[in-house]
Structure formats: structure tokens, C-alpha cells
Amino acid sequence: MRTFKESLKMFKYNFSSILLFEIMFKLISAAVLIPFLYTILNLSVEMAGIGYLTTETMGIYFKAPSTYAFLFVIVLALAAYLLINVSGLIYAMEASHREEKISALVLLIKGIFNALRVVNPKNMGATIYVLLVLPFTYTVMISGSLVGMKLPEFFVSFFEQNRMLISIVVFVYILFCVFSLLRIFSFNYYTLYKMDYREAKRLSRKIIKHNFIKVFVGLAICNLIINGIHVLLQGTLATAIGKIMALIVPYKAFRFGFEITVQIVFLIIYSIFSIISTPLVYAYICRRFYELEGDDSYDEYLQVKEKRNKKRKRRELTPEEKKKKDRLSFWTVFVVALLLNGTYIYLASSNKVNLNIIYSTRADVTAHRGDSMNAPENTMAAIEKAAENQADIIEIDVRQTADGVYVLFHDEDLYRTTGVKRDVGECNYDFISNLDAGSYFSEEYAGEPIPTLEEALIYGEENNIFYNIELKPEDTDTNYVQGIMDMLEEYDYIDNCVVSSMSYETLKEVKILNEDIETIYIISMVIGRIEGLEYADGFSIKHRFITADMVERIHKKGKKIFAWTVNDEENIKKLLLLDVDSIITDNPYETKEIIYNANQTMLADWINRLLYEY
């Protein structure tokens, strides 16, 4: 407990400088680091010989040797980013420990110069170590995002397909991370005493050797407390206060104004706490360092510092001159950082703050596999429920049976929804038509059959349904695309549907057969330029990878953009601000309600959006 109190005391002593340092550092890094990483990533795609990166081109991308060179550069850039931050925080805590004031600008400059020392081969190990201590020192940042970065979807897909391998890799990484705690104080030695990193590692192991459990437990408790507060500030407390006020205050207008005020206040507090969370962790680490290391090496450090100062032979500034110089320098860097960040916001391909804060309520609602939240997916019950709940578009998946019948089914394997361990393409329709596709959902839908595409088209024609028909061809299929196109023409459905697929070659075949039908290319995520693809009239993209720049480029080509699959209010509102054409959801009724009522909370959501973007 004493250590935690002393840590807070150190943190508070230079609080304003630490806060300004973190803000200034993040402004500059957001303006420089993210555009740099996007540039490197786009170059790596070009060098791999592909125009864009999706799950279809991922194999080619990772086979190119140049890809790994570029990924190495990205890792180095992230390590440099973290080194500057860590170095600045250690200098801040050192000044607090000596009860000296230090400016934010000095912290930034010292952090940059200290990070540059890794170019020395003896110090290269610092770049690896800084990545190993991430789980212990940047937990809040990792749980949110690293200056706005997102995990590419092809990594997510790879993880899901290789869970055992990933589990082993994660386990090994955790072991390395725990082992790295023996070097938790190496940055203090490396930064404060200007030692080679190798020597700093040795001294860190020496002082922590008999105190490993104490340091580990303390660091874990520190992180749990910080993350607990972070979760509460993330909206839990604001929501609770809003609900209490809804019960107490009878007037809706006053209650709405109060809720907006509470949300704004909590968003500001949440943002500040997110910024200071890492400094709080380092305050604890530095406090432990001083307790275990003592001042044995400090006298030697002062002697080295005095020698360096003598060599400079500069006139000492008066306190007033120093204060004036620091103030001028800080505001100069701060203004430059704001200008850089403004340029980044305009040019970067991540989401921009949309100054037109009126929601784009014209976004269509697409019912994912029918109303799959309230009825078993891809059944007539789900289609009927989606129509009842006013979905603008109903998405269905089409597969072919062994005897050539087109049925509505998502997976290749029948097991998940019917309990039968066979593939659709292995079975005749007579067998499939007798399966129960509803009991998995609830007893209410027991015996619900798997419908045919023809049944869906007949119902759609009678009830004016617009379909998003996703094609899922397999090697066992015969004339798969031709048969579906013939059926759409037979039921006069060419103008009342879009045809989508994760296979661009399938869409090309569709367009060759009938150029009038609208095609949608389904992509988990994309890096590069896709808007020029000839046989795609639009794109269906995983919602978390859609950006304002992407939407703008696609719309300029006269094409549409669908977002999948979105079920929560926060993300639906973000997508409305991005002006997507359709939101694919499992719950069309609630999504329609959210879009309809969006403008009632326009101000609060825009402020939330502003902080999210930044």
C-alpha cells in the first residue's frame, strides 16, 4: 500500500507536465506514425504484385519475401514509438523523485534522443523488450487501440482457423513476457544512467532476483485497478446516472439536457484517464525501482551529469529565463503538432471527423439471413419475420444440392443448424427437404424446413421483397451461376435484387451472363484500391474496417457500400456518420428504430464520435 501511495505522489508532482507530454506525444505520433504505417503497408501490397489485399489475395501477399521486410519496418516503428513514450515517463518520474519540476517539451526531447540510442548494436535488445512488456504497461491502450490502429481481418480469420497453433504461440509469448519482468527496471538504468542495454539488463535482474513475486503481484494489482476504473468511466457510470435521472426528473427536455451534460463530462474524464493510464503504471514501476535500487548509483550518475554540463560550457539560465523558454518552446511544438494532426485527419485513410453532424438516415437496413435474431436463419420464417419488421433488403445464402436444387443455407456443412454431419453438395434435395432447420433456434420453430431459392423468389414476388442473394459456389456444383441467373430471369427478379459473393470470379461470371444485374463483392477487410474493380457494382465490408475515405472513394465511382454485420447502437450510429448505403444486421427492427431515432441524441453521439476518431 505504501508503494502505491508513493507512486501517486510521484505522479502528482509533475502531473501537468506528464499530461501535456502525453497529449503532445500522441498528437505528433497520430500525425506522423499512422500515415507512415499506412504508406509502408500499401507499399508492401504493391511490392507483392497485387493491387489490393483481401482474404483472396492474402496467400500471394505472404508468399512475397518483401512482405516480411516491410513488416519488420512496421515493428521497428512501433517499438520506436513506445521507446520515446517510456523514456519520457521515466525522466518525469525521476524528476518527481528528486522533487524537481520538468517541462513537457523537455520530456519529449529527452525521450526522442534516448530512443535514438537503439541504433547502437549493444542497445538493439531494447526494441524487442519494449514489445514484451506491452501486456504489463500498456493494458488500457491495448484494450482500446494503439493510436487508432485496427487488427486486420485476415489476421482474425487466420486465428480462427488455426486456434491450436495460435494458442501455443500465445502461451510462448506469455512465458517470454513473464520472463521479461526480470528486466522490468532495465529501461530505468538504460535511460537515467546512459548505460548500454546489456549492462542495464544485468543490473535489473540483479535487484529483482529476490523480489520477483512482489513486483509481479504489485504490477498485476496496479493494472487491475486502472483497467477497472477505465471500464467504469467508459460509459457504465454515465449510463447509471442517466437511468437514475430518468426516474427522478419528470421533464423529458431537462432530462435530455442533463444526460448530454453527464455524457460530455464523463467523456472528458474518460479521455484524460485513458491518456494518463500508462504513466500511472510507470509511476508504480519507477517507485519500485527506487525502493529496490536505492541511491547507490545516483552519486555516480550526478558526477557523470556534472562532467557533461562542464563540457557544454553554457551560461546557466535564470529560473525566469528557463521558464519563459520552456513555455515558448512548448506552445511552438504544441501548435505544430496540432497542424500536423489536422493534416493527418484530412489525408489519412482512417475515419475522419464529419463536420456535417446530421445523420444520414437514408441507409437501408439489410436483414442478415432473414431476421436471424428472431427466427432460424435462412428459413421462410426468418424471411417473413424480416418483411414484417420492415427490412429494406433481405439477405439470403444460396447453395446447390447434389441433384442441382438451389437451397437457402449458409454453411457448407449441415451440422450447425440441423445436426447432420454432411455437406449440402453431398445430399439430394429429397433428403435435405426433410431436415429440421428450426429446433436449434427454439422449440417454437421445430420442424422448420430448409427452403429453396424458388420458394423465396415466389414469396418475394408476392410481397415486393428486395433480396441480397449471396452466392456460395463449391467444386461439387454444376452450372451453379448459370442456373441461378436463369431462375432470376424466369421470375423477373433482375431489378429486384443484388447478387453478392466473396468470390470475385463468381461476380465476373454473373456480369458476363447479364450485365444489368447489380453485383456486390463481399470482403472482410481491404488494403489498397478496390473501387475500380470492373465486375463489382458495390462492396460489402466488415463494419469495423470501413473508413470515411473508403466510402468517399467508392461513392465517387458511383458504387455502393454495405456494412456487415452490425447489431449494436454505437456502431450503427458510427456507420450512419460514414454515409454507408446499407447496414446488414441480425435484428432489422431494432436497427430501423436506432436509425429513426438517431437525431435525438445527435450532439452526444457527435462528441463521442469526435473523441473516438481522435
User: What residue spans of 355-452 are helical by DSSP H?
Assistant: 380-388, 415-418, 429-432
- Which DSSP string corresponds to 68-112? HHHHHHHHHHHHHHHHHHHHHHHHHHHHHHTT----HHHHHHHHH
Q: Which amino acid is at 72?
A: F
Structure-block grid coordinates of residue 16: 501537468
Q: Which residues pair with 399 in a beta bridge?
A: 407
464: left (phi over 0), alpha (psi -120 to 50) or beta: left
Q: Is 368 a catalytic residue?
A: yes
What nine digits make up the cell of 512?
Answer: 458476363
Clarify whether 543 is annotated catalytic: no
Q: What are phi and psi of 406, to 5 degrees?
A: -90, 120
Question: The cell 513486483 sits on which residue?
Answer: 215
- Residue that has been written with the C-alpha cell 489536422 in this structure: 342
Question: Nearest to residue 418, comparing CAs of 371, 451, 452, 450?
Answer: 450
CA dist 562 and 8 (Å) reads 48
One-letter identity of residue 271? S
CA distance 369 to 376: 9
Neighbours of 53 (CB within 10 A): 23
Give, as one character, the DSSP assignment of residue 428.
-
CB 66 within 8 A of CB 42: no
Say which of 97, 210, 230, 368 is annotated catalytic. 368
* Euclidean distance between CA atoms 7 and 286, whole angstroms: 8
Q: How far apart are CA 572 and CA 597, in angstroms?
A: 12
Q: What's 146's DSSP letter?
A: S
With CA atoms as reference, report the closest residue to 288 among 17, 100, 134, 90: 90
Beta strand pairing status for 518-523 and 527-528? unpaired
Q: Which of 97, 210, 230, 410 is catalytic?
A: 410
Q: Mention every residue, 6+ apart, whose C-beta is less than 8 A from residue 216.
A: 178, 181
Beta strands in 111-266 (DSSP E): none
H or E segment at 369?
none
- Whether 140 contacts 277, CB under 8 Å: yes
Residues 407/423, Cβ–Cβ less than 8 Å: no
Q: How would you class 335 by CB atoms within 10 Å of its CB: exposed for 0-12, middle for 13-18, buried for 19 or more?
A: exposed
- Which residues are registered as beta bridge partners of 560? 538
User: Cell triple for residue 328?
Assistant: 515558448
**Opening angle at CA 214, ends 208 and 219, nearest 5:** 95
Cell of 407: 437451397
CA neighbor of 74 nearest in space, from 527, 552, 611: 527
Counting Cβ atoms within 10 Å, is residue 443 exposed (0-12), middle (13-18) or buried (19+)? exposed
Placement of cell 526494441 in the chain? 127
167 forms bridges with which residues in the sheet?
none
Catalytically annotated residues? 368, 410
